Structure 1
């Protein structure tokens, strides 16, 4: 049997805009995640109801307790706490999260809170283009301080910004769709820098305001294989990891850009505007852990620049190609989900080893899961053996990484229940608990534990895999 330490954190995850619903109730303001979902509301479900956790949180948390969860990683909606981002505090929002936190604790579940998960207040976008302005840094810091003071007596474990390194690559999530093409990369670099600065301020504040508080970043992990053994392909694979993830970890952990990334920003003429005291703030910030979100690996080959495609020209956004550096290729040795994510449990072991060897910080998995279509059968059940197989293989990879010497203290797969997928609504499901609704028919939002629910329940009871 592959048993984990007795104090290992078995849990599951969600995010506010994808699970809560009640998008404008009790004073909540509109977020960029709401705004973007409404643009696609004719094609799929939006944030207005989502999984309606806002009205079902008590019974939902009881189901988490039934499954055996030790920890629940969820996010707070900035717009519930400060509806316009930097104005009046909304006591109703604080009251809601107090109820959620207290319900978790009453069910012996550790609340593990993310402060920002893709849902910047829309008012800040309209006011000063969000993260393009240093004013957003101050607004986020104030919001985080409000949360630390309101919840820090019961919440000791915090994540700052979820997947900044991925979010900044998605123009819609950063509201850069209206930015002139010639300015996009400059604005992107400035937004990224401001998020790093905000993260540093907030990590420092947490250590001052929360007794025994622990805080760290949550990154979208990247493990890239070279498509061949050509030296330039090997270099390209490493640079893909560097440009999409490692540069961010360097900033979080050491407070400055690594040389290869600073060189690139200056070469492209997009190095962000900074202030004299920023470096002190950035280098004073010390994360207590790294939260790792892992779904897949990538493969890459060298992509040479030419007269038509100069060094630094990007192609696409999320898995972008970069002339002079790398081009993403399909790994023919891996199977993929129906939505294209290549399944690679060994990649998780590799990425955990790499991060631990570089940064020597404890780690927790805060996202890992299989998104696919689940069918409710005639017997009223969901037989998702495919999800069990996926999770089993990745938990085994976690165990192997621990044997390698990695200090991994928890596993919180995505997601605790079916929630709104940013691009596929309720067609693409990740949860242990089925939410009986479709994109355009809410039905009764009935909760139905899947086969994976009962399997994970046994994993937790056994503290590992049999």
Structure 2
């Protein structure tokens, strides 16, 4: 059994040149193209034990790592400050906003009783967005599975989740569908499956030696990632069918799914590295995309994984195939891929026999500016998966969370370059229809609580959670409102909304 996936090794000094340094304006994008920002329920709302909400698997994960109080100490209190935050979105000039519905807040036990206070909160939030002319793009599941379902039958590794997720989606469509026209079912299933069921670095913290990078008390890294993602695809497809049959003709909305999409390039010009790179693309991108277009997994996955790979029945294949109106792409950076021999055992198990190596000076708190990687992701989807409608639902630059991060010129450079790469891709025929920066404000970040992606700085030591615009917020607002070209070298006065170049 091949046992290696991504051995993360920091390689310094091997930077690629930035290919996007030109000036452009919002008006150069096609009519109807939307610009937004984003956050998720667990990372923004806070109020984890208020108004009937019950724990998610993230609450339990933090309790097990002695970090449960962090979410109370590092949250935005959006549950109580949503009106203020929507006003900030309006002032910035956002066309749209991506958010998620907390399943354990809306249906606390995962099934059955709908929490009236949770229902009222989301209706109020969505109506506030619409009142200011901001189009909501809603993700149904953003990593926060109700702990009750994990306890009852193991969550995503049991097929019962398909019916329960579909029932949750039914409530959301029924209650919010007159306001929401863009639904994403499951956030980055490839990342959820590998992080939660292979490495154990995310809830529900399943893994098994020698693959997991943490100590897990349960799991099987050689089988559970494939089972979990298989059930996510079936849950997505079941939900998409429900919407099409029951709601689409009345609500005139659309349903998609997101994929976490690094771009990958060979570490050397060797044939082995080139083959390993394509193999990694099939395992990481094709794992989700291939069933959506062709109704089955890539041949290389089926060959390598063998009997451990779940099989779609004929009916399931028909259900999954073409079960999306759009694809949500989540992209942050690009990596080298290096072939590993079978004798080398890595920390990751998706059977790829390849190392994933950061390019240049990328670290956990900084990504090199490699916008051509996003162009390549969009071109790859266009060439290999039928050029579907695409929304960039997450793209952003992390930085250390402290008051000095207000002058985040590195984030400005990153956003300028990546938005420019989207424009290039659109001009090259990609059916990309929107760009959502991650994240609107500093949030409780899932994997490292000390860095954030926000356009707004949030003072977590202030009981009022004061929001302060960073340089990137002012730059993005200038781009969104401007009728002239912008470039990355923009100086901003202390008064939000006033800019000089």
TM-score between both structures, scaled by the size of structure 2: 0.84
Q: Cα offset for 1:329?
A: 2.7
Contact kept in structure 1, 2:371 and 2:418, CA below 8 Å: yes
Residue in 2 that maps onto 1:356: 382
Residue pair 2:59, 2:68 contacting (<8 A) in 1 also: no
SS at match of 2:252: coil
1:139 alignment partner in structure 2:
164
The aligned residue for residue 95 of structure 1 is 120
Q: 1:7 deviation in Å? A: 2.0
Structure 2 distance, partners of 1:265, 1:49, is 40
CA distance in 2, matches of 1:337, 1:179: 29
Query: Once the 2 structures are TM-superposed, how far is the Cα of residue 179 of structure 1 from its aligned partner?
Result: 6.0
Say if 2:45 is the partner of 1:45. Answer: no
In the alignment, which of 145, 149, 163 is matched to residue 174 of structure 2? 149
Q: 2:265 aligns with which of 216, 220, 225?
A: 225
Q: 2:485 and 2:240 mapped to 1: Cα distance?
A: 35
Structure 1 runs of 4+ aligned residues shifted over 4 Å read 41-44, 177-181, 273-276, 320-323
Match for 1:376 among 376, 394, 403?
403
**Mapped partners of 1:99, 1:25: distance in 2:** 17
Contact 1:86 1:139 in 2 (8 A): yes
Q: Give the Cα separation in 2 of the matches to 1:185 and 1:112.
A: 35
Residues 43 and 335 from structure 1, CA distance in 2 versus in 1: closer, same or farther, beyond 3 angstroms?
Answer: farther
What is the deviation of 1:389? 0.8
**1:126 and 2:151 aligned:** yes
Unaligned runs of 5+ in 2: 1-22, 208-215, 487-501
- Name the structure 2 match of 1:455: 475
Provide the alpha-carbon RMSD of the alignment.
Answer: 2.2
Residues 1:11 and 2:48 aligned together: no
The residue number in structure 1 matching 2:109 is 84
CA contact (8 A) 2:74 2:444 kept: no
Pair 1:403-2:388 in alignment:
no
Distance 1:373 1:340 in 2: 9
1:353 to 1:119, Cα distance in 2 relative to 1, 3 A: same
1:436 aligns with 2:425: no
State which drifts further: 42-51 or 291-300: 42-51
Question: Is 1:279 aligned to 2:279, yes or no?
Answer: no
Q: Which moved more, 1:44-53 or 1:136-145?
A: 44-53
Q: Kindly indicate whether residue 299 of structure 2 is the aligned counterpart of residue 259 of structure 1.
A: yes
Deviation at 1:259, TM superposition (A): 1.3
- Local SS of the residue matching 2:439: coil
Q: CA deviation at 1:87?
A: 2.6
Corresponding residue to 2:131 among 88, 99, 106: 106
Note the C-alpha offset of 1:401: 0.9
**Is the CA contact 2:264–2:281 (under 8 Å) kept in the aligned structure 1?**
yes
**Pairing partner for 2:334 from 268, 272, 297:** 297
Alpha-carbon deviation of 1:43? Answer: 9.2
**How far is 1:149 from its partner?**
0.5
Shift in alpha-carbon separation, 1:109–1:124, aligned structure 2, 3 A? same
Q: CA deviation at 1:139?
A: 0.5
Q: Matches of 1:464 and 1:155 in 2, distance apart?
A: 32
Give, in whole Å, the separation in 1 of the partners of 2:33 and 2:363: 29
For 2:205 and 2:361, the matched residues in 1 are separated by 33
Query: How many residues are matched?
Result: 444
Q: Could you tell me the TM-score, scaled by structure 1's length?
A: 0.90
Question: Match for residue 329 of structure 1?
Answer: 357
Whose relative contact order is higher, 1 or 2, with alpha carbons under 8 Å and at least 6 apart? 2
- The answer to whether the 8 Å contact 1:15/1:117 transfers is yes
Q: How has the CA–CA distance of structure 1 residues 239 and 465 changed in structure 2, closer, same or farther, with 3 Å as cutoff?
A: farther
Is 1:343 aligned to 2:380, yes or no? no
Compared with structure 1, are the counterparts of its residues 464 and 130 closer, same or farther at alpha carbon in structure 2 (3 Å cutoff)? farther
For residue 316 of structure 1, what is the aligned residue in structure 2?
Answer: 347
- Aligned-partner SS, 1:160: strand
260, 265, 290: which one aligns with 1:250: 290
Q: Is the 8 A contact 1:356 1:406 kept in 2?
A: yes
1:191 matched to which residue of 2? 228
**Alpha-carbon distance in 1 for matches of 2:320, 2:36:** 31
The equivalent of 1:270 in structure 2 is 308
